[in-house]
Amino acid sequence: MAAIAIVIVSHSRQLAEGVRELATQMVRGKVKLAIAAGIDDPQNPLGTDAMQVREAIESVYSDDGVLVLMDLGSALMSAEMALEFLPDERRDKVYLCEAPLVEGAIAAAVAATTGSNIERVIAEAREALAAKAAQLGSQLSLVEDKGQKTNDRGQTKEIHLIIRNQLGLHARPAAKFVATAAHFQSQIEVRNITKGTEYVRADSINQVATLGVRQGHEIAIAARGTDADEALEALQALVEDNFGESDRVLESFPLTSSPSLSPDLQGIPASPGIAIAPAFLYCPTPVQLAERLSADPQTEWQQLQVALQIAKQEIRSLRQQTASQIGDSEAAIFDAHVLFLEDPALLDTVRQNIFERHLNAEVAWHEAVEKLTTTYRQLEDPYLRSRVADVTDVGQRVLRRLTGSNLTALELTHPVILVAPDLTPSDVTKLDPERVLGICMTHGSATSHSAIVAKTLGIPVVVGLTPEVLKLRDETCLALDGESGKVWIDPDEDTIATLQSKRDRVQAAKQKALATAQQPAITRDGKPIPILANISGIADAKVALNLGAEGVGVMRTEFLYLDRTIAPSEEEQLAVYQAIAQLMDTRPFIIRTLDVGGDKPVPYLGLSPETNPFLGWRGIRFCLDRTDIFKTQLRAILRASPGHKIKIMFPMISTVAEVRQAKAILAEVQSELRQANIPFDEAMEVGIMVEVPSAAAIADRLASEVNFFSLGTNDLSQYVMACDRTNAKVAALADALHPAVLRTIQQTVQAAREAGIWVGLCGELAADPLAVPILLGLGIDELSLNPQKIGEVKGAIAQITITEAQAIAQAALKLDSAASVRELVAASLGNNNL
């Protein structure tokens, strides 16, 4: 039985009992539920009683948390009064929630059975109306399609475009295409002219992906509605920008150096490298389904909606973690996973299974997903066929939520070669390359997202092996060559020696490349540019140093606060900061203070949903209000500083008063440490993030308050261009190479120069080699970026002089679009006579 308990407080006992019965049946009695409802007055039974509420809480109390849901009026007062009668240690574990009674109780109960913590259960209760809104919204849209849209949308407008990006409309560009189309009111459809397909819905990720659109194919996009012109213009811009992808040819594996050994098994090479280690068979038990007819389709639909919401949150969290660890490009595959869960065509099928065929939620979902995977498997294009793994990944995630089945954790005590039928992208993202030295699979393909992620992690992979590999015993010695697709079972000494020799040669080449990456980044005319890393924890710091980082340009400390029920203590934070400081030694280590809010909600900190979260209570604004949390973090940072080059950086600064207030709190903490004889770096530098236009506008005033600036171009771009970068309809406007953003950067750098302080840049722009000449030309002193891009950016710096960079930057400032800036840089770098 789930540990989290739920108490229902209502004026009507009959209502409360009905809600309890409904929730209990939904979760098969796996959650403790109690009611406190009505009063002992036959003439007037409606009412609530505080002592009854207290007794209900006590009857189901759990240290994991008790969620109290109330209907209205005095129910809230009774619940609040009941808390006063509880012991302090229990009162802190009871949460009053404003969620709707019926929907909230069901959503909370379902979430509790999945092992969610109390914060997640509360969040699910609060979002419970989303399911009803989704269904009604769908019904209303159907009415609109048959009514108003039919009458008012006008003529259908159509454009024809050629797809030029390397792999066509594969998952990531398809996700961008669908997300863009979905934000317009018009009815939008697309077809593959080259293959002669019929039109499909442009807001369906699966229908778009299965069109089989490849490089060179011509597509037709048709739009009909009030904003048809704007929709077609946005989609055309997306296609002409190659969906933000480069048009470079995909890397191929050189096979010239493969050892001429006869393998025991021959598969398909998917990620290069040699691995020799014991086998570890990983065959997760599939989710067990029991088909049953349901007499209450609405409840089944509600249960599915809750599972979908939880799955989306899990995927978004996974995307954020993946982006910080291996790069935003690889993490973008999870954008498609989210859209899969929102695919209206898929959800229509599930809805029919539930409401017309009366299937239970898990079987209705499973059948719809299986139908879709069959469609993918029947595609001619092998690259699109490999997307089956993504569909399966998302489908299984929802099924686990619906059935309460937990995925078997992969616990490894020593390095192994993982042997599995298949691995999903989610599976591979969680692998530790120091424990998983190689992967053998019977399914999959060299172009699957799982293989792409494994390659980024540096794990050799062979796919397409015969099923006999799954019959191996654990600890059987295996050897694999991910470059040739060969696998050896219990290899002899000669085979091992030959493979080790090749591995040593490859490793030597890698070490040579790493040695080059470890060298300083110096322009052709001899100016060194420090290249630092953006990190989120200790593991990132180790990777960054191995890849040539010269320090940490920003540690995103909010990751210490995620996936918890309470804020990390001073000692917990100190341990992390000290561990990273030890790794950095005397290299620069900039710690950004807590930056929550916006797209980084942390429920237990009391961050309520906001209409415009990016413009709301976030960053330094939150910390200045919650000085208890702020001072705890500052103490931990200061205590970790002796003997190291730690610097503090405040995020989301928009006024001089904020800087002064933050510095005053820092001074208080420093004074407290001095009084306690706790050492810290008295000369620690203090800087700010410049990511708000007002900060750039008053940069001259701010520069007199701090030791350095760090430009956060991700937020700065969206604020300068007045667009939400998480809104696909306008996200393309948030381009950091737009002259408006570049002029803001220039203004900030000039103010810093006049004040005698240095300026770094830690946004995604720093990882774009094409942006290097402009950033150097504008006078940026150091760059901080994703560790995976360090070598590439160092190489770009070595190819240019400061004089050339300044010329490019000045020309870029005079242009009128980001596209023209990119054309300028590309043309300039191709001109040897700069």
CA-CA distance, 560 to 572, in Å (whole number)? Answer: 9
Please say whether the beta carbons of 773 and 808 come within 8 A.
Answer: yes
* Residue appearing with tokens 């606060």: 561
CA-CA distance, 66 to 77, in Å (whole number)? Answer: 17
- 485, exposed or middle or buried, with CB in 10 Å at 0-12, 13-18, 19+? buried
Catalytic residue at 366?
Answer: no
CA-CA distance, 57 to 61, in Å (whole number)? Answer: 6
Provide CB contacts within 8 A for 739, sequence distance 6+.
Answer: 812, 813, 814, 815, 816, 817, 818, 821
| Element holding 556 (H helix, E strand) | strand 552-556
- Three-state secondary structure along 484-531? CCEEEECCCHHHHHHHHHHHHHHHHHHHHHHHHHHCCCECCCCCECCE
CA-CA distance, 555 to 569, in Å (whole number)? Answer: 18
368, 310, 370: which is closest to 338 by C-alpha? 310
Please say whether the beta carbons of 448 and 386 come within 8 A.
Answer: yes
Name the 3-class secondary structure at 177: helix
Q: How far is C-alpha 412 from the geometric centre of its chain's CA atoms? A: 25
Angle at CA of residue 550, ends 544 and 555, nearest 5°? 60
Please say whether the beta carbons of 84 and 110 come within 8 A.
Answer: no
Residue tagged active-site, from 217, 366, 449, 738: 449
381, 385, 452, 466: which is closest to 423 by C-alpha? 452
* DSSP notation for 4-65: EEEEEEES-HHHHHHHHHHHHHHTTT-EEEEEEE--S-TT------HHHHHHHHHHH--TT-
Half-sphere exposure of 163 (CA within 13 A, CB side): 25
Provide CB contacts within 8 A for 656, sequence distance 6+.
Answer: 698, 701, 702, 705
Please say whether the beta carbons of 712 and 590 come within 8 A.
Answer: no
- Tokens (6 digits) for 35: 């009611």
The answer to whether the Cα torsion of 462, 468, 472, 477 is positive or negative is: negative
Half-sphere exposure of 530 (CA within 13 A, CB side): 18
| Element holding 695 (H helix, E strand) | helix 693-697
In 39-162, where does DSSP find H-type helix?
A: 50-60, 74-84, 88-91, 101-113, 118-126, 129-146, 148-152
| Element holding 810 (H helix, E strand) | helix 802-812
Residue tagged active-site, from 97, 440, 623, 762: 762
* Residue appearing with tokens 């007062």: 77
According to DSSP, the β-strands at 477-481 and 265-266 are: unpaired
Catalytic residue at 762?
Answer: yes
CA-CA distance, 524 to 830, in Å (whole number)? Answer: 16
Please say whether the beta carbons of 619 and 557 come within 8 A.
Answer: no
- Distances in Å between the Cα of 345 and the Cα atoms of 86, 123, 204, 303, 550 are 50, 27, 6, 19, 49
- Tokens (6 digits) for 635: 């103490």
Q: Which residues are marked as active site? A: 449, 762
